[in-house]
Chain A
Amino acid sequence: MSAPVTIAPATGGLRVSTQRLVHIYRSEGHEVAALSGVDLDVAAGEMVGLLGPSGAGKSTLLSLLAGVFRPSAGKVFVGQVELSAATGRRLDELRALDVSLMLQGAGRNLLPYFTPLENVRFAQDVARKAGKELPDPDEVLGGVGLGTAEGGEAHRPLSELSPGHLQLAALAVAMAPRPGLLLADEPTSQLEHSARDLVLERMAALNRELGTTVVLVTHDPDVAAFLPRTITIRDGRVGGEGRSGEEYAVVTPDGFLPLPLHVRDELLPGTLVRFHLLEDGSYTLIRERGETDG
């Protein structure tokens, strides 16, 4: 794994925030809460990873940020646009110009009968028609490291590409309209380490060079370690945040504080605790029976 890429200040990125975001879906006749009040704020040009166990709601959150799902409650802002209130057409515009979603599995992001070059051209089509200045597809593909010369990966049928190259092609397609926000669902799953690192480097480079805000979902701790900021989703809520290798609990706007997992194992439900402010400004967490946790 390479050293973490330094993120340049965002110029073209979009700020992403959610307020008390709730998403409920029906499954086999029952209502299931995928997200139960997520408050999130990602600055423009940031590169953030969403972590969490399977079923925690990471992909749902990503879909809500892409405007694929409508939230059951709460608000989602991407840039100045409140997605939860946007019309279908506005959402289409947003996806055409500013928000790209990379689905899990490279193949799901690419039209199978097109070459990477044609896929990029296809992805740029609507934005270009809308008058957005876009780079040449060759440039986009070159930007993710795919060979654009005659016979290069950019011109080859998808079936002839390696999984890593396919993922890079998917990344190029996602970045083709030069979005302000790139949402990627497990972009490195099913990839070997070298391919994974390559993809991550390219994403980071794009984030750095273009200022694109990147939110990606991952299970991979190595990937998480690569990212400057990670947000852990647990039981449909923000369960914690990691910054530069440090794990933090995040106080919600209404004052709740989800316990880190290892603490939760210690503090069983119903346990009474007290917060004691120390002189140096730090807090001591005191259990009811008098034992102290720092």
Chain B
Amino acid sequence: MRRWRYRPLQAAAVAALAALMTACAAFAPLYYRAMQQALTDITITDAPVVRSSLVLSSAPGDGAFTSAPVLPPEGVAAFVPPDYRGDFHAPVLGYTANAVVVPVTPTSSSGDLIWRDGMCDHLTFADGRCPDAADEVAVSEDDRRVLGYDVGQRVMVAGATGPNGAAAQITLEIVGIYHQGGGDYWFGQSLTGRSGAVQGAGTTPEHDVWVAPREPFEQAADGFDVRESSAGYLLDTEAVDVDDLIALGAAVDALAHTRPDVGQAPLRVVSDLPGLASSVQDQIDQSRVTVPLLMAQLCLLAVVVLWLVLLAITEQRRPEVAIARLRGRGGRGARRLLLAELLPVTLAAVLPGAALAVLASWIARTAVLPGSPPFELGWSFVLVLGLAVLVLVAVTLAAVGRVAREPIERLLRRVPPRAAGWALGATDAVVIAGCGGIVVVFATGGLDGPIALAAPGLLAIVVGLLLAHLTTPTAAVLGRRRLRRGRLRAGVSLLDAARSPATRRIVAIVTLASALAVFSADALVVGQRNRAAASEQTAGAPRVAELRGNDLLAIRAALAEVDPDGTTVTPVVRVSPPGDGAVDTVAVVPDGFSQVALFPGGAPSSDLWDKLAPPDAEPIVLTGDSFAVDLVDSSLSSQRQDGKDHPVTVGLDLVTPRGETLHTTVGQMPKGTRTASFSHQVSCTDGCKISGVWVSSLPGASIHGAVTLRNLTGGDEAVGIGPADRWTPFADRSVGTVEPHSTSADHLTVEVDSASATVLTMQQNWLPTTVPTLVSGPLPPGNERNRFAMAGLDGEAQPAARVGQLARVPASSANTIVGNLDTLERGRSVLATDRLEVWFDSDDQELYDRVEDALAEQGVQIATTRTLGEVRRTYDDSAAAWSLQLAALVGAVAILIALLVLVVSAASSWRLRTRDLAALRMTGVPPRSMRSMAVASQLPAVVVGVVAGGLSGLVGAQLAMSIVPLFATAPEVSTLDLDTAWPAVLSAAAAALVVLASGSILIGRALAARADLRRLRETV
């Protein structure tokens, strides 16, 4: 202690470095473990309950197991090995039975009847109560509203089939109208939403799931027609840690492959725990390299700095070692003298270092990592601490050994002999060759993966060491030149820098630290930028609501009510045709979509969107519940393949406001007549657009001739069907032609010439013949000169043409076709399988509420929503993102370590340097010049180091960023942008320069301030 009180700054610096090294080493396992726990936490909590839970069911099903008995739920629950039950809450046991209301009539219903253990706590009752007797049942609110069931009503359902093959009939009394509660209790199962649905023609409507007590499910006689028994296990997220999840994944996987005993119904396992475990394991594997690698760089830097500092300190102790040797202590005694001074300090720093690591991990767990990962001191932490102790001892021994081994005559020299000039030490040469070799392998693509994070550090070591060896001789040459030119201040400063052993280590360390800072800043910002871009690409818009149903008209009406301009909310229809390789169609309103959607990397130009405009033609609208038309001057004739005549049918295609096309027959011309009048009922009270005129005959029959449609009326309103330029002639070489003729609005002559056709349709111009589209990725197969077939809103093929190429389509796959919704909905109805979405230009809850209300008024419900923030969180909460955040910490700490090097260099040589400065003062150098010289002797090394480090970090980033993992798993559509984040790079370099240069200046000034003349008389 006495010794360190004599040099407190040195002691503090050595202890700080040793603590820092220990902290870096010990932080790695703590952070790594916390990251695993956070990953697990996020993965479990973000996963829908259906993925994170385990539901086992015993169901005879079809085939060989039809007659196998259903196990009781307790038996099903027992399949989960006892070792794993602690990871779950108590199982929710249950039965499911078929409930077909008898006698079967068109108005009777069918559906499921269930019992779940504790279900009454998770249902609320709008009317009545939870059933508790064997003959009681509760139905949903929708069943009351849609199917008319009500409390007090008795219904009869078909029960289990008896030995005689006949199903029992069970009378149940409805005792409650339930409303399903939220939460995970139901394992994601929705009890409602089926009421009134009809699956096919001639079938009875479905009712929602009914609930009943357990008893009738287990009655042998007059019991329900039980379909399955089940046990649902909800994951206990508080109890499950990463190890449990990984083990559970394997256990559930094994459970899923459990073969039933003979005569036992097969076990069905519903869970994605194996998938979740696999996802966590993948990220753990990724971080297994990144975290230790990043921290190892910092540890290495701290160890190297500690080594250099200890060298400087032991160098300063040469006279003391000489005294020990002169007093008869041999090399060992000298070593003991130094070790007795240095080792306690380095080792005493281990515990504070460990505490620092724990503190840092606490900050990381509370401020960086999501959730609340627990604090764990595992064996790896203890092991790393042990390693840190070994490294500290080894470094101290090595540093002490160098001086202790020196012969006395060298120790007694006031100025120790030094290697001068450009000579490169063997150790430095090996390090440069090794690191340089690895950098070359990186540059040539020989290395891949997270280890790329080490590239900038290795490059900086090479540059730093080379530069360090170049700096001192260069400074000496420049210094002498300045002196010759009479520039005393600069000359002395440069020569001082050249002879100081600290100059080399400052250049090397500052280069490395600056490189790490610059690279980590670039990596952090590039990572954030890419995650932001990927989030935008995945989300599509600040908020996206997916809607139930396919009532596009209602949706557009609701949106028009909220946002008449269509600039804050916009509808998007997504058509995903079945089949591998099928290209999705995304129908948008260009004006709104271009403003609402997010386009990472830049939005397409408005010119491109303009090209999607629908045909500029007015529709011919027919309104009313009937229409009438005269067919005049008909010369239409059709001849069957057997040569006989066949009447030609004339019709109109009427498109309802909902996009349905009514293929409406006008009539057939009576034989021998050329003119006739027709009228028909039609559901066009809201207005139908006449999209086509068609003629038809038998398959394979020819059609020739012409007919004029005149006096078309809808209701009582006349409808102008002409002139001819409102129609698109039809011409197909293999089918025939249909041509319009008319110069007046009140009639239209249709001339047909077809050798073989069933139906020939001539389209109205309002209906697009070819849809202009923007395409991302290659065109679908079968394309020709930018023309291809796309999936229309009705799922049918629709002719399309590419009018522009997009790099990406927001929230869509790489190969997507974008069309104008106004164009695509013309003549096409929205298919039930189409996904209808509303995209919001902001995550504004008030706007969302207004849209939700407007949609509800139109009878449209929002199924799910996703926000940009939620999507961003899925990218941010990943091992890759956390690793990059760690890289930023590494950069910051590296600068701190470099600052420590400056401090320690000054502390270990301040007596000598202040004496030199005092000598200068003695010669009459003014204090101001002395201050400048004190500052200038170190500042150039710092500036050179920062510049070289900045460039190394920049080049290292160019080498490494393409292989640094930015995502846990690469997004489906790449938005990768690895351009240098110049503001971040320049800021980091500037920060390094400001911190280190300021430190250097302050140190220089402090030394100058201490350089009074009394230093020259100092003998101790």
Contact = CB atoms under 8 A, between A and B. Distances in A.
A127 interface: yes
Given A63-B409, A68-B408, A96 B6 contact: no
Interface residues of A, number: 38
Contacts of A93: 328
Chain B CB within 10 Å, residue with most, of A112, A123, A126, A166:
A112
Contacts of B447: none
B391 interface: no
Contact of B330 (A63, A92, A110, A158): A92
Interface string A58-70: 0000010010110
Given A68-B408, A158-B1020, A111 B320 contact: yes
B323 interface: yes
B326 A106 contact: no
A108 interface: yes
B317 to A, nearest CB: 10
A256 interface: no
B328 A96 contact: yes
A54 interface: no
B329 A110 contact: no
A88 interface: yes
Nearest to A88: B330
Nearest to A160: B1020
A190 B333 CA distance: 31
Nearest to A114: B2
Contacts of B328: 92-97, 126-127, 177
Most buried by A among B6, B322, B328, B412: B328
B327 A108 contact: no
B319 interface: yes
Contacts of B329: 92, 96, 125-126
Contacts of A97: 328
Contacts of B2: 113-114, 118
Contacts of B319: 108
B742 to A, nearest CB: 114
Nearest to A127: B328
A68 to B, nearest CB: 5
B1019 A166 contact: yes
Interface in B135-154: none
Contacts of B323: 108-111
B733 interface: no
B409 A95 contact: no
Contacts of B5: 113
A137 to B, nearest CB: 13
Interface in A119-136: 122-123, 125-127
B53 to A, nearest CB: 68
Contacts of B928: none
A105 interface: yes
Nearest to A130: B328
B484 interface: no
Given A106-B1019, A108-B319, A114-B2, A126 B409 contact: no
B3 interface: yes
Contact of A177 (B7, B327, B1019, B1020): B327
Interface string A146-161: 0000000000001100
B313 to A, nearest CB: 13
Contacts of A96: 327-329
Given A92-B328, A96-B328, A113 B1019 contact: no
Interface in A40-66: 63, 66
B409 A68 contact: yes
Contacts of A158: 1020
- Interface of chain B, helix or strand or loop or mixed? helix
A289 B326 CA distance: 55
A163 interface: yes
B3 A95 contact: no
Interface in B673-712: none
A154 to B, nearest CB: 15
Interface string B325-355: 1111110010000000000000000000000
Contacts of B6: 112-113
Interface string B301-332: 00000000000000000011011011111100
Interface in A158-179: 158-159, 163, 166, 173, 177
A109 B328 CA distance: 13
Nearest to A69: B409
Contact of A123 (B3, B327, B330, B408): B327
Nearest to A118: B2
Contacts of B1018: 107
A110 B409 contact: no
A159 B1020 contact: yes
Contacts of B3: 113
B953 to A, nearest CB: 41
A118 B326 CA distance: 16
A107 B333 contact: no
Interface in B206-244: none
B1019 A105 contact: yes
Interface centre among A97, A108, A127 (most CB of B within 10 A): A108
A173 B320 CA distance: 13
Contacts of B322: 103, 108
A264 interface: no
A283 to B, nearest CB: 42
Contacts of A94: 328
Nearest to B319: A108
B326 A66 contact: yes
A14 interface: no
B641 to A, nearest CB: 117
Given A93-B328, A95-B328, A126-B328, A68 B412 contact: yes
Interface string A78-103: 00000000001100111111001101
B1008 to A, nearest CB: 22
Contacts of B7: 113
A118 B5 CA distance: 15
A215 B576 CA distance: 105
Given A69-B409, A111-B320, A126-B333, A95 B326 contact: yes
Contact of B326 (A101, A105, A190): A101
Interface in B703-732: none
B318 to A, nearest CB: 11
Interface string B786-805: 00000000000000000000
A88 B322 CA distance: 15
Interface in A5-32: none
Nearest to B414: A108
A95 to B, nearest CB: 4
A140 to B, nearest CB: 13
Interface in A207-232: none
Contacts of A100: 326
A126 B1019 contact: no
Interface string B643-657: 000000000000000
A163 B327 contact: no
B320 to A, nearest CB: 6
Interface in B400-415: 408-409, 412
A66 B2 CA distance: 30
Contacts of B1020: 106-107, 110, 112, 158-159, 166
28 contacts: A63-B409, A66-B326, A68-B409, A69-B409, A89-B330, A92-B325, A92-B333, A93-B328, A95-B327, A95-B328, A96-B328, A97-B328, A105-B1019, A106-B1019, A106-B1020, A109-B326, A111-B320, A111-B323, A112-B6, A112-B320, A113-B2, A122-B327, A123-B327, A125-B327, A126-B327, A126-B328, A166-B1019, A177-B328
The 7 closest A-B pairs by CB, nearest first: A96-B328, A113-B6, A107-B1019, A107-B1020, A126-B328, A92-B330, A95-B328
Given A100-B326, A126-B327, 18 more contacts: A63-B409, A63-B412, A69-B409, A88-B330, A92-B329, A96-B327, A96-B328, A105-B1019, A106-B1019, A107-B1020, A110-B1020, A111-B323, A112-B320, A113-B6, A123-B327, A126-B333, A177-B327, A177-B328
